[in-house]
Amino acid sequence: MTAMLKDSVTFGEAMVMFIASRPGALKDIDTFSRRLAGAEVNVAIGLSRLGLSSGWISRLGEDAFGEYIAEYLAREQVDIHGVTYDSRYPTGFQLKSKVHEGDPQVQYFRKGSAASTLGVADVDFGYLTGFRHLHMTGIPPALTKSTRAFAYAALETMKGAGRTVSFDPNLRPSLWSSKEEMREVINDLACRADWVLPGIGEGEFLTGSRDPKEIARFYLNRGVSLVAVKLGPEGAYYRTPNEEGIVQGFKAKKVVDTVGAGDGFATGLIEGLLRGLSITEAVRQGNAIGSIAVQSEGDHDGYPTKEELETYLHNHLTGVRQR
């Protein structure tokens, strides 16, 4: 009897995040509150809250930060059997400023972290293929040669097993040796995925066009089956070989913290598609969670449960323009 596949797995670096207690330059802040940060764990947590079986692969230091992250994810019911622990290298952390509007300042302390040593030897074929979907971002390929090799191996493992793969560019120019290398590697990985989820600015950098249709065409012509271009508060444009449309965004009552909105979009889209919703419904879910995310402090603090998401959608009916 074949074991039932779990839903979605991802991999990357999680960091302990310290958020300033008040606005101002980070050097002037005396007190911080502790949270968890990391694009991939945001999605893993978001999917778990929506009721999917969700896993996360990484390396953590054998230290207090590593224990905190492992216990946090266990409470969120994220499967961490793909996590290994390293006594040689520490768990990374970051400082984040508090802002009333705009993007916060973030300073990373991640160089030489345990997660940066993740490599091909950590690819567990049996664990990975126990999931029907892989979500990945452009952050791990930027960290080290080792993590880049892991990213390629994980992607090829899942594609070879007939699994679906989503890819969020999540561009971090400061982590790359050059913008040219970033563009080349990110596009190479994206074109091997099934669903590509760039922001409009990322799409412009990666394809040379700010037109969502042209951004989508760039990837569809290279074998991708779905492109969803995030348009911020305006919503998102999606395109497949057979259909396209714009799904309107949701108006946030108050923007508290913009970090985590893109990962919230990915969460809603992935959950919807894995659950068998139409693309427009899945994109609408992504827009909704992105809107919810910016209204709370922390990267994923506001991510909803399935019931909370359905209530939010019911109370914020939005339209879709199909072509």
DSSP 91-112: PPEEEEEE-SSSPPPEEEE-TT
pLDDT of residue 323: 46
pLDDT of residue 48: 98
Burial state string for 16-51 with b = 16 or more CB within 10 A and e = fewer than 16: bbbbbeeeeebeebeeeeebbbbbbbbbbbbbbbbe
Asked if residues 227 and 299 have their Cβ atoms less than 8 Å apart, the reply is no
Q: What is the mean pLDDT of residues 9-33?
A: 95
pLDDT of residue 257: 65
Q: Is the pTM of this model over 0.85?
A: yes
Q: Which of 171, 118, 160 is nearest to 10 (CA)?
A: 118
The pLDDT tens digits for 68-117 are: 999 999 999 999 999 999 999 999 999 999 887 777 888 999 999 999 99
Which residues make Cβ contacts (< 8 Å) with residue 322, sequence separation at least 6?
243, 244, 245, 280
Residue 121 is given by DSSP the state: G
295 phi and psi, to 5 degrees? -95, 10
- Is-catalytic flag, 263? yes
d(C-alpha 267, C-alpha 265), whole Å: 5
pLDDT of residue 101: 72
pLDDT of residue 1: 41
Tokens encoding 220: 């569809």
Check 103, 263, 299, 301 and give the catalytic one: 263
251 phi and psi, to 5 degrees? -75, 125
Q: How many CA atoms lie within 13 A of 86 on its CB side?
A: 19
The pLDDT tens digits for 23-74 are: 999 999 999 999 999 999 999 999 999 999 999 999 999 999 999 999 999 9
d(C-alpha 304, C-alpha 312), whole Å: 9
3-state secondary structure of 196: strand
Which residues make Cβ contacts (< 8 Å) with residue 289, sequence separation at least 6?
46, 264, 265, 267, 268, 303, 304, 309
Output 33 or 257, whichever has higher pLDDT.
33
Tokens encoding 100: 């009333």
Q: Which of 103, 148, 124 is nearest to 13 (CA)?
A: 148
Asked if residues 149 and 119 have their Cβ atoms less than 8 Å apart, the reply is yes
Pairing of strands 226-230, 320-322: unpaired
Output 88 or 3, whichever has higher pLDDT.
88
The pLDDT tens digits for 183-238 are: 999 999 999 999 999 999 999 999 999 999 999 999 999 999 999 999 998 999 99
Residue 199 is given by DSSP the state: B
3-state secondary structure of 49: helix
Answer positive or negative: Cα dihedral of 278, 249, 299, 192.
Answer: positive
H runs (alpha helix) in the chain: 39-49, 64-75, 125-128, 140-143, 145-160, 179-190, 200-207, 212-220, 261-274, 279-293, 306-315
pLDDT of residue 316: 80
3-state secondary structure of 51: coil
The pLDDT tens digits for 120-171 are: 999 999 999 999 999 999 999 999 999 999 999 999 999 999 999 999 999 9
